[in-house]
Amino acid sequence: MSANFTVHAGARAAAHVRSEGLKPADIACIPAAAGGPKGLALIPLDQRLFGGWLRNAPHVELIGASIGAWRMFAAAQTDPVVALARLSEGYVEQRYPRKPTPRYVSDECRKLARAVLGGERMPPLRGNVGVSLITTRARGVLDRNGSRAAFARAALANARSRHALAAHMERVVFHAGGARFPAQRFDAFGLERVRLAPENCEDALLASGSIPLVCEPVRDPAGAARGDYWDGGLIDYHLLLPYHALAGLVLYPHFVPYVTPGWLDKFLPWRKQSRAHPWLDNVLLVAPSREFLARLPGGRLPERQDFYRYGLDHAARMRAWRRAIGECERFADEVMAWIERPDPTRLAPL
């Protein structure tokens, strides 16, 4: 029995798999977490899911933040395999000087967003998907203030409670293709929905991946409320969303076997792993196992610190990342084999 992946399920998802197996029509939503280069590891699985198994499924909601937003927008296109390959190659090929300015990083990330778009302002999407890109609009102490001190104050607010962080950040979701999830406000961060259009598509992708203090914000995207827009992972790092409201199952390819609510929560042990959350009842999460990760370069997935770890040795970083992505082809094949013929004995609690 392969130990290259783990499968974690909420109670409702586990009961469904045990009684009915799994078929494309069962899947109502696929989320995609923020996480920078870690998301590269999931692109081989994305290509198999969207280029094959889910190709002719009924309506599926695709929702992501940061690199997850880029993955889901690529997956929603008419040729998802090619679009995802553009994203993977463009991300690996990034090159930065030793101390890049936020403007430099933003300019490079805009090139990557354009690679995802395939040279179009907004490429056509498949008719059976709705896609939602999560961004964070600054307010409170962060309104037109991207300083280190302002974000430190927001982090202190988050340490008190996520509700307190909502005084400084608002969730804005750019959507297309008849996306309907989430449909209404469900927490203190609110829910502003903005339709994706040629005038704002590139900015929405860029905003969802604009890391504070590393990038510049995206300012005043067309069709949305005026303000500074930042990485969607600040609020929705692993996308702890009200999935229980969906009639079908949520298939969640992830790089860890747990769901952390916001980016700042990963530094808070009491919030890092959300256990037995009712919103996850219908979620089926697949992730690389520890045994699989141990065989990757450095014993881990690609990560943003690699840009600093490898410095100006871009070729060495690219070799390591390409090797990791190549290993993840095997991970993807084994996950797909389980999805097509699910063995309930592999299920662990989520």
pLDDT at 340: 96
pLDDT at 66: 97
Residues 6+ apart with CB under 8 A from 67: 32, 34, 35, 36, 37, 38, 39, 40, 91, 209
Q: Does residue 114 lie in a domain region?
A: yes
List helix spans (H) across the chain: 11-20, 43-48, 67-75, 80-92, 102-117, 148-160, 162-165, 201-208, 269-272, 290-294, 306-309, 314-340
Distance of CA 92 to the CA centre of its chain: 17
Start-to-end CA distance of the chain, whole Å, equals 21
The SS3 call for residue 192 is: strand
Instruction: Please say whether the beta carbons of 162 and 265 come within 8 A.
Output: yes
Say how many domains are in the chain: 1
Q: Does residue 217 lie in a domain region?
A: yes
Distance of CA 127 to the CA centre of its chain: 21
Q: Does residue 343 lie in a domain region?
A: no
pLDDT at 274: 63
Burial of 255 (0-12, 13-18, 19+ CB in 10 A): buried
pLDDT digits (tens, 9 = 90+) for 56-80: 999 999 999 999 999 999 999 999 9
Question: Residue 236 phi/psi, 5° resolution?
Answer: -120, 75
pLDDT digits (tens, 9 = 90+) for 292-324: 999 999 999 999 999 999 999 999 999 999 999
pLDDT at 276: 73
Q: Does residue 199 lie in a domain region?
A: yes
| Full domain range(s) for residue 194 | 5-338
Q: Which pLDDT tens digits describe the chain residue by residue (350 residues)?
A: 468 999 999 999 999 999 999 999 999 999 999 999 999 999 999 999 999 999 999 999 999 999 999 999 999 999 999 999 999 999 999 999 999 999 999 999 999 999 999 999 999 999 999 999 999 999 999 999 999 999 999 999 999 999 999 999 999 999 999 999 999 999 999 999 999 999 999 999 999 999 999 999 999 999 999 999 999 999 999 999 999 999 999 999 999 999 999 999 988 887 777 667 999 999 999 999 999 999 999 999 999 999 999 999 999 999 999 999 999 999 999 999 999 999 999 999 99
Q: What is the DSSP letter of 216?
A: P
Q: Does residue 345 lie in a domain region?
A: no
Q: Does residue 346 lie in a domain region?
A: no
Q: Does residue 192 lie in a domain region?
A: yes
Q: Does residue 173 lie in a domain region?
A: yes
Between CA 121 and CA 83, with CA 181 as vertex, the angle to 5 degrees is 35
